[in-house]
Amino acid sequence: MLTRSIAILVSLLLASHFASAKAAEPVSDGHVHILSPELIKIWKGLGIPFSRSDEYYSDIDVIIQNTAVRRIDLISMAHVYSSQEFGGFKNERELVERENAYVAAARDKHPQKVRAFCSVDPLREYALAELGRCRTQLKMDGIKLHHNANQVYLTVPEHLEKVKKVFEFAAANKLPILMHFDNSHRRFGKPDIDLLIGSILGDVGPVELRIAHFGTSGGFSQRTRGFLNAFIEKLNTDPKLDKHKITFDISAVALDKDSEGIRKLTDDEFAVLARYIRRLGLSRIAFGTDYPLYTPKEYMDILRRRVKLTEREFNLMLKTK
């Protein structure tokens, strides 16, 4: 009897030892940016401050070292060249092509570790041609859309048509889409979700869609909650979504520092965020950092200490999706 109790005690001790030793680690980071030296130079020229040396943003070896995970999705920022912030370039298309090529070349240096996402303004007349070039010549692995930088409104029929073409391209070529959906309009939310599902996802073949930053532009505001409420309702009731793989990218949501005019979360907001994460379901959440905003290590630390997810929940979230 005594030996049996000792055996149980020993196995309990071992179990707790292994449980504490096995903290969840992210295998991949689904939202990592790289900027070409050319883009950094233009941005600096506009007075945008860069707090670190250029290599932190532009050198794939440094980025791989800093992110320190097995796989990263490297996201092009070529879409910014047509944003209002930049004020227009005569050679815009050339700059877009060069930026996407830079991201593809970074991937080519580490093909086992890196997937490259091609970015394009879906409203430009060259959008599909550039996506085609990204696919066939550059062999890129995914598509990035940024509805805020490019001021894309699904409520405008021509915009809707153009975005739909991108989704059709993604479905035909089996390319995942990372979409920054928020366009900063004060009424952005349910009407846009209804159009995305009713007029795009309902018609196109299966796509893998990752919605950046939980639907808005970073942070976790009332707007983000409104967006998630409307999307969760659709996920629970609309069979049009069943054929698609839809996940929510948590990058830049759990902010513990103010960033680009977006306020960090209060303790209460971190707690509400935890509730929303559980409502969405951990398997619908894609881990990403929006590097250079955070490294995976820094962001995991915030999710642990501030959002207070459990190790079991981490493991569900971090499972390769």
Contact yes or no for 75/33 (Cβ under 8 A): yes
CA gap 28, 19 in Å, rounded: 22
Structure tokens at 112: 């086992």
In the complex with Zn ion, the residue whose CB is nearer, 29 or 290, is 290
Position closest to Zn ion via CB: 290
CA gap 204, 130 in Å, rounded: 20
To Zn ion, the closest distance from the beta carbon of 119 in angstroms equals: 10
To Zn ion, the closest distance from the beta carbon of 122 in angstroms equals: 16
Contact yes or no for 189/238 (Cβ under 8 A): no
Q: Where are the alpha helices (DSSP H) in 142-289?
A: 157-173, 190-195, 222-237, 267-280
In the complex with Zn ion, the residue whose CB is nearer, 24 or 80, is 80
To Zn ion, the closest distance from the beta carbon of 31 in angstroms equals: 6
In the complex with Zn ion, the residue whose CB is nearer, 166 or 212, is 212
Number of residues that bind Zn ion (CB under 5 A): 1
In the complex with Zn ion, the residue whose CB is nearer, 73 or 97, is 73
To Zn ion, the closest distance from the beta carbon of 75 in angstroms equals: 6
Could you tell me the maximum CA-CA distance found in the chain, to the nearest angstrom? 85
- Looking at residue 12, its amino acid is L
The dihedral sign for the CA sequence 257, 258, 262, 263: positive
Q: Which of residues 271-300 bind Zn ion (CB under 5 A)?
A: 290
DSSP bridge pairs for 119:
144
In the complex with Zn ion, the residue whose CB is nearer, 149 or 170, is 149
Structure tokens at 169: 């391209």
To Zn ion, the closest distance from the beta carbon of 301 in angstroms equals: 20
Q: What is the CA radius of gyration of the chain?
A: 21
To Zn ion, the closest distance from the beta carbon of 76 in angstroms equals: 10
To Zn ion, the closest distance from the beta carbon of 295 in angstroms equals: 14
Which x/- pattern over 41-80 shows residues binding Zn ion (rule: CB under 5 A)?
----------------------------------------
In the complex with Zn ion, the residue whose CB is nearer, 142 or 234, is 142
Q: Omega before 292 cis (within 30°)?
A: yes
Cβ within 8 Å of residue 1, ≥6 positions away: none
In the complex with Zn ion, the residue whose CB is nearer, 119 or 164, is 119
Binding site residues, Zn ion, CB under 5 A = 290
